[in-house]
Amino acid sequence: MIILVLNGPNLNMLGLREPDIYGKNTYADLLSLIAAEADRLGVAVEFYQSNHEGALVDAIQGAYGRVDGIIINPGAYTHTSVALLDAVKAVSIPTVEVHISDPDTRDEFRKISYIRQACVKTVKGLGFEGYLVALRYLAESLK
């Protein structure tokens, strides 16, 4: 089983970016945590991060026929990108939307998620643990 973990804009800045919201751990810390859990579950993971919407669309399209599930934190594109929604719909790969913070408790515009309607699950507000919840969910549901 292969799970693609996609992260959108500014997630490469974890640890520096608004640590009161996103914590002080880095993007490298996040990847290590996910990789360790994937090893424990016997699941292969691939990681990709981009600040560019089209690159994320390309990554989703490139996953077609190659991966079993996707975990995506689209960052700010959550609230703006119909292109990411359409890409997930097009490939029909079970996808879990993850957010480190809970967007519903923040700015009004952050309560809108375009990609959510194409996802099998949304995990929000659990910090880095949310990625592990998503990974366990996909590992179990895709058995």
118-132, pLDDT tens digit by residue? 999 999 999 999 999
Report the topology of domain 2-141: Rossmann fold (3.40.50)
Could you give the CA distance from residue 140 to residue 9 in angstroms, rounded to a whole number? 29
Q: Spot the catalytic one: 27, 77, 99, 131.
A: 99
Q: Spot the catalytic one: 22, 77, 114, 131.
A: 22
Verify whether residue 64 is a known catalytic residue.
no
pLDDT tens per residue, range 83-103: 999 999 999 999 999 999 999
Report domain extents, the chain: 2-141
pLDDT beyond 90 at 113? yes
Instruction: Starting at the earlier edge strand, list the strands of the sheet with 69-73.
Output: 44-49, 2-7, 69-73, 95-99, 121-124
Verify whether residue 131 is a known catalytic residue.
no
Q: How far apart are the first and last CA of the chain?
A: 8
pTM of structure: 0.95
Could you give the CA distance from residue 70 to residue 96 in angstroms, rounded to a whole number? 6
